[in-house]
Structure 1
Amino acid sequence: EAIHYAARAKPGRVAKVVLIGAVPPIMVKSAKNPGGLPIEVFDGFRAALAANRAQFYKEVPAGPFFGFNRPGAKVSQGLIDNWWRQGMEGGAKAHYDCIKAFSETDFTDDLKTVDVPVFLMHGEDDQIVPIADSALLGIKLLKKGKLKTYPGLPHGMASTHPDIVNADLLAFFKA
């Protein structure tokens, strides 16, 4: 996660940080994070990955990642195929371990530490990283954070709506 690296960077090495649909502060449900997703959700991801990685990398982008499971969604087979290609090029063990890393790593201290401008961009219809337990909590921990939410946009909004996302990125970089 970018915030982890920014929190540990030598002064002057990071000028700004952008988090798009990011997981911080932490995704998994616990006593400290009662609004998080149950560990069973992530166990399900791991089981699906282990059982049939190729199918897993077809179903996730065809459904919740890009919001293609929503009524009226304009499905892009190219995006689905590209996500599958990228997934199949990676190592199965790394992908399996990644599920633990993105779901169970607590980035709370990293968010509190970063002292540069941080732009949180998050789709309000993100089915992968629910906004209520990520961006809406993370923004409260940042010293110089700016949050922009996008009604109806999915987790993969940078790919489904690059015109919107890129314009906001450019404005943040130029500011």
Structure 2
Amino acid sequence: MGYVTTKDGVEIFYKDWGPRDAQVIFFHHGWPLSADDWDAQMLFFLAQGYRVVAHDRRGHGRSAQVWDGHDMDHYADDVAAVVNHLGVQKAVHVGHSTGGGEVIHYVARHGEDRVSKAVLISAVPPIMVKTEKNPDGLPKEVFDNFQTQVAANRAQFYYDIAAGPFYGYNRPNAKPSEGVIWNWWRQGMMGSAKAHHDGIVAFSQTDFTEDLKSATIPVLVMHGDDDQIVPYADSGPLSAKLLRNGTLKTYPGFPHGMPTSNAETINADLLAFVRG
């Protein structure tokens, strides 16, 4: 574990576990969480002999709570700072939700020289918000309401997300885990309200279409068809079509938070892709 300081003076926290000469799997967390959200994946891949790296996005987790730079360009540049600091080569970059947008934007903005493959899990690309070019997207009012709730009472808002749609705990016959719910809440409350408030615009309004089109590396798109946070039909299949070398894997009934709720299945498929 350690910190790297970006070119604009922001301290970014990262975890770096495993043999220095092993294949690197670099994990990118979702909003409003931290590198801790990858516990199930990092321990799994570490046991398989890989080197695993994950950072806390600026304003999230243990990284500096700066007031600005909460946009995809800065997110991608912060990733580059960690990659450069660690000397990472030919990593497989795995992003969940907002982290998936961060992955594909990092690849487009900083090139593929140090990247071998990428994985987008329940990810926000191509674009979440409804526009003339994306008529099936979610209305902007949905995300405006997110910002309102973050400002009004984010503690309650974060609990409600984790206890409800994020893991599908609001579905009939669901078996909620209080530990999972409170761990989500803990990670969210560690971060900055300002970063989370601004991050809603970053993940909902950024158009990743050209980023997806420009990628030439193999990209695995993993998405559950019962995702209540990033609706399946307007994300996973569309991203896979835009990618030159993309593969879509659909998970019937899986929720947005499937890396945690369905870790065994997700880990096995990630491993197969990394080894393939």
Instruction: Give yes or no for contact 2:212–2:239 (8 Å, CA) kept in 1.
Output: yes
Q: Which residue of 2 aligns with 1:2?
A: 103
Q: Which has the higher strand share?
A: 2
Q: Report the CA distance between 1:136 and its aligned residue.
A: 1.2
Q: Which residue of 1 aligns with 2:91?
A: none
Which one of 115, 118, 124 corresponds to residue 225 of structure 2? 124
Cα distance between partner residues in 1 of 2:240 and 2:141: 27
3-state SS in 2 of match to 1:23: coil
Letter in 2 for 1:69: N
Number of residues paired by the alignment?
175
Letter in 2 for 1:129: V
Cα distance between partner residues in 2 of 1:47 and 1:11: 38
Q: Report the CA distance between 1:11 and its aligned residue.
A: 3.7
Q: Which residue of 2 aligns with 1:33?
A: 134
Q: Which has the higher contact order (CA 8 A, sep 6+)?
A: 1
Q: Which has the higher helix share?
A: 1
Q: Which residue of 2 aligns with 1:69?
A: 170
Which one of 176, 184, 192 corresponds to residue 83 of structure 1? 184
Q: Report the CA distance between 1:8 and its aligned residue.
A: 2.1
Instruction: Give yes or no for contact 2:122–2:230 (8 Å, CA) kept in 1.
Output: yes
**What TM-score do the two structures reach when normalised by structure 1?**
0.98
Which one of 96, 111, 115 corresponds to residue 14 of structure 1? 115
3-state SS in 1 of match to 2:195: helix
Q: Which residue of 2 aligns with 1:159?
A: 260
Q: CA RMSD in A?
A: 0.7
Instruction: Give yes or no for contact 2:166–2:228 (8 Å, CA) kept in 1.
Output: yes
The one-character-per-residue Cα deviations of 1:119-151 (angstroms, maximum 9, x if unpaired) are 000011000000111111111100000000100
Q: Which runs of 5+ in 2 are unaligned?
A: 1-101
3-state SS in 1 of match to 2:241: coil
Cα distance between partner residues in 1 of 2:214 and 2:176: 40
Runs of 4+ that moved beyond 6 A: none
Q: Which residue of 1 aligns with 2:147?
A: 46
Q: Report the CA distance between 1:117 and its aligned residue.
A: 0.3
3-state SS in 2 of match to 1:16: strand
